[in-house]
Amino acid sequence: MTAMIPDEQLRAFLRADLPDADMALIEAAINADPAVCARIEQLAELEVSPHDQAIIDAFAPILAAPVPQHLADVPLTAIADPAIAAPVATAPVATAEVIDFAAASRKKRPMAWGFAQYGAMAASLALGLFMGNALQDGPQGGTSPALVLASADGLQMTPVVETFLSAKGSGDAQALDGLGKASVALTFRTADDRVCRQFSLESAGQTSDAVACRAGAHWQLEAFGQRSQPTGEMRTAGGDAAPAVVAAVDQLIAGDPLTDAAEKAALKGQ
């Protein structure tokens, strides 16, 4: 992954000088690849300004806090083809250097600087750091409804998406206002007995794929990717979907996808 992202692009990422799609791709690579995380840490140390260093120091206690285990275990996976998809797309603003990349590299796990830290920083700065357009503004962009909301426990699906995930069976489709045509590909359980669903949103010639798992009364985002065309020969548990989502399903799923009867029972909380 490191060889695929030149230092020039990584420096532009730190300055937030790239298009949103490229910002999201590099952010995904940092989440998934410790080597990329380590390299951008080195570049950040060279480019950090006194103002940004003050921000780093102010948020150091937050970034040093341990990551909750249920977030550390989330399999946000690296992308083989950056032109197709990226997990949980997020887009930083000009103060991207506040992230403690060194801590992330030392922990050697994708979620070392995870959603709990993001939520705390966003709440404190009121900037919504690293909430990318594809998730925050919906797949159509602009003023489209969002797919997720930041919470203390991670990225929670918005109410309209949660309602869909709690009610529709696999194979069923529904038009969600402003988001496009939503459909569930499959429902499954994880090794720790969580109920998860892979679903997609089709809008304006682009498909957004995601995996969400139920956490109490809500659904939390586990992986996200976008594609303009079906992914061809990729046929695994997740079927035709963005590579990040297919990989996430393969890592999360325990056993086979649920049958219709088992799915109905799972959605009822049984």
190 pLDDT more than 80: yes
Closest to 52 (Cα-Cα) out of 107, 7, 10, 92:
92
CA distance 220 to 151: 9
pLDDT at 111: 37
CA distance 246 to 231: 10
Residue with tokens 């937050």: 62
Least confident of 160-174, 198-212, 219-233: 219-233
Length of the chain equals: 270
Q: Under DSSP, is residue 215 helix (H, G, I), strand (E, B) or coil?
A: strand
Q: pTM above 0.85?
A: no
pLDDT at 183: 93
The 3-state secondary structure of 12-26, one letter per residue? HHHCCCCCHHHHHHH
Higher pLDDT, 146 or 211: 211
Where does residue 153 fall: left (phi above 0), alpha (psi -120 to 50 degrees), or beta otherwise? alpha
Kindly report, residue by residue over 35-62, the tens digit of the pLDDT: 888 888 888 777 666 656 666 666 666 6
Consecutive H or E run containing 201: strand 195-203
Q: What is the DSSP letter of 252?
A: H
CB 184 within 8 A of CB 165: yes
Q: Under DSSP, is residue 86 helix (H, G, I), strand (E, B) or coil?
A: coil
CB 26 within 8 A of CB 9: yes
